[in-house]
Structure 1
């Protein structure tokens, strides 16, 4: 076991798991859990060691998100989106950006997130409608972003916008959340991942300097597909594998401890044994597929992208399947909040509709294996 994973398991057992039920029931941001992760240095998971971080890779990220999500899906998503923002900064950070963002992130002092989704773009998060308008040597951002995980708890957001110069494509900017004209609004009212604070972001003549541009003008699309996509997809695949694992372990404990009046145990029933077998296979197939895809991405294998995309499909579909079976095993108690089964069931539904959705990924994968152009 790596030091990173051992540390994650310790924090999950001591802080994240005990708070998970309250985070869900009260629909509150998992502040204590996130603070514990930051204090332990895990905010700097993807920050290079020479800047004070852990120097982790995508295999570490997917393993960490799986571990956290087995206890609390909300915390896992908040942590993942912070790491996606960190990965963007780290990819092309200037010396000033290293000092202003990456070193504080490694110390657990800054929390980031992505601001990509827009109402009009749907699953095509890489094609924003808002534009960076040049003005007196700066850029001005106007518009609305949706589903900004971490929301007003974040210290900075990575905003994707159409480049100011025609034909350049898209840009990414690091925008501090205390910038004049930036505000958050709304509450997260989704059926699951209740504590992830995914709310709307409004940009009203927000001015950003050239020093807040990530890379050069027009680098946005490259960052989306080379940095954000693999980081998010493998991370959220880990989240869904973790949700499936948490549901399976809950159902297994219930089956082992539930006794009937005649002394028989629930686990002694053949139907329950079949269910346990199905869940075990589903969890392990998802987890192993994700870890294999992450290893391929780290090595730079030629077929890594196909496995990365399929990892989200595999994990999302297994999360839905396993949590449904867990409900059958846990019966009436699983349908109530006496067990976390219903929470895992609700949390599992999110993975399939997060962009890129299962359907979009299947289209891309199908085209890729058939040699058909993606676009």
Structure 2
């Protein structure tokens, strides 16, 4: 049986890569890739084996997102957000939730996502304004969520709200897309990651049964920092490393194939060799750091949180650096759609502004190493 990484590589080569340019150009959801992921069982990467999944770890998530993003950042981000939603349910799943969500995910018939961000909270996604109102054995949700990756292509959403009682903290609910009162608005028209389908979720008197609550009331904050943050930060680190590697490989191929009139290749120019060296080092360093951070998280090491946070800083900054250098190597052709370098450059810029932003993470890392409380 093929390994998880072999499966991801095969689907990326056969399905993701050939469609990457079209997905970017048209700004459409990568449905073909998700169909292939589902058929291969990769949508259930993080579903426990007892629920029919692959029982993968954060190390697997980093490796898979890096592999996918090497060809298409949009597909990798959509896959990551589905994986984060899966991890949330898996962390606290009731028997009912296992049967309704985890098994279908493992079978490739359900896609999920997170609905955390709100216009008024920005990067502080862990401080929602929406409050769940209790009504008998149900909760009623009203409000709007922004930047919901996968959007209306997801079958369910993990929605973050304040608990009905202010002192209870945060709640997370599994909300099915077809629940009355749920609708989506807008379209994603970003300069990069154009296939994300990152749109707004509108909820009007959405009634959610208590059985759809993830964990107990007030578990939301713990789920954010113990489940969502590690999976998202490490996964997006993998995405950014993949984008950097894709740009580096495209630039390397161009440098070897581009010939001058005297027969010399671009790769024989010293300045280009310096650029290639810088790119190679940046990609490998960021990749190794992200994978080691994931290993530390899986092992529960004391320094895992610090390494996880720093992995996104290093990966996103490396992605910007490498894609810019790749543009220099490829020159005028890199500035056109003849080469994928300009797409990698646009996609890579998003990493630094995704919450937690680079600035927020640097503050947290700096406080952590100095022994200063985060909050």
TM-based fold match above 0.5: yes
What SS is found at the alignment partner of 1:134? strand
Instruction: Quote the residue 1:249 is aligned against.
Output: 249
Task: Return 5+ residue gaps in structure 1 as ranges.
Answer: none
Instruction: Quote the residue 2:193 is aligned against.
Output: 193
- Distance in 2 (CA, whole Å) between partners of 1:49 and 1:301 is 24
- Distance in 1 (CA, whole Å) between partners of 2:338 and 2:323 is 16
The alpha-carbon deviation at position 193 of structure 1 amounts to 0.2
CA RMSD in angstroms comes to 0.9
Give deviations 1:225-247, integer Å, cap 9, x for gaps: 00000000000000000000000
Correspondence list, 1:1-375, <5 A: 3-375=3-375
The alpha-carbon deviation at position 34 of structure 1 amounts to 1.3
- Distance in 2 (CA, whole Å) between partners of 1:189 and 1:208 is 31
- Distance in 2 (CA, whole Å) between partners of 1:252 and 1:88 is 39
> Structure 1 252/303 Cα, relative in aligned 2: closer, same or farther at 3 Å?
same
The alpha-carbon deviation at position 166 of structure 1 amounts to 2.5
- Distance in 2 (CA, whole Å) between partners of 1:360 and 1:109 is 36
What SS is found at the alignment partner of 2:167? coil
- Distance in 2 (CA, whole Å) between partners of 1:314 and 1:140 is 41
What SS is found at the alignment partner of 1:336? coil
Runs of 4+, deviation exceeding 6 Å: none
What SS is found at the alignment partner of 1:167? helix
The alpha-carbon deviation at position 70 of structure 1 amounts to 0.3
- Distance in 2 (CA, whole Å) between partners of 1:234 and 1:137 is 36
Question: Is the deviation greater in 27-36 or in 227-236?
Answer: 27-36
Give deviations 1:265-319, integer Å, cap 9, x for gaps: 1000000000000000010011000001001001110000000000000000000
- Distance in 1 (CA, whole Å) between partners of 2:28 and 2:185 is 15
- Distance in 2 (CA, whole Å) between partners of 1:113 and 1:86 is 8
The alpha-carbon deviation at position 257 of structure 1 amounts to 0.4
The alpha-carbon deviation at position 262 of structure 1 amounts to 1.6
- Distance in 1 (CA, whole Å) between partners of 2:173 and 2:261 is 63
- Distance in 2 (CA, whole Å) between partners of 1:178 and 1:166 is 29
- Distance in 2 (CA, whole Å) between partners of 1:54 and 1:305 is 25
Task: Return 5+ residue gaps in structure 2 as ranges.
Answer: none
What SS is found at the alignment partner of 1:121? coil
- Distance in 2 (CA, whole Å) between partners of 1:267 and 1:303 is 41
Give deviations 1:154-200, integer Å, cap 9, x for gaps: 00000000001230100000000000000011110111000010000
- Distance in 2 (CA, whole Å) between partners of 1:296 and 1:113 is 25
- Distance in 1 (CA, whole Å) between partners of 2:199 and 2:236 is 18
What SS is found at the alignment partner of 2:168? coil
What SS is found at the alignment partner of 2:78? helix
- Distance in 1 (CA, whole Å) between partners of 2:21 and 2:153 is 20
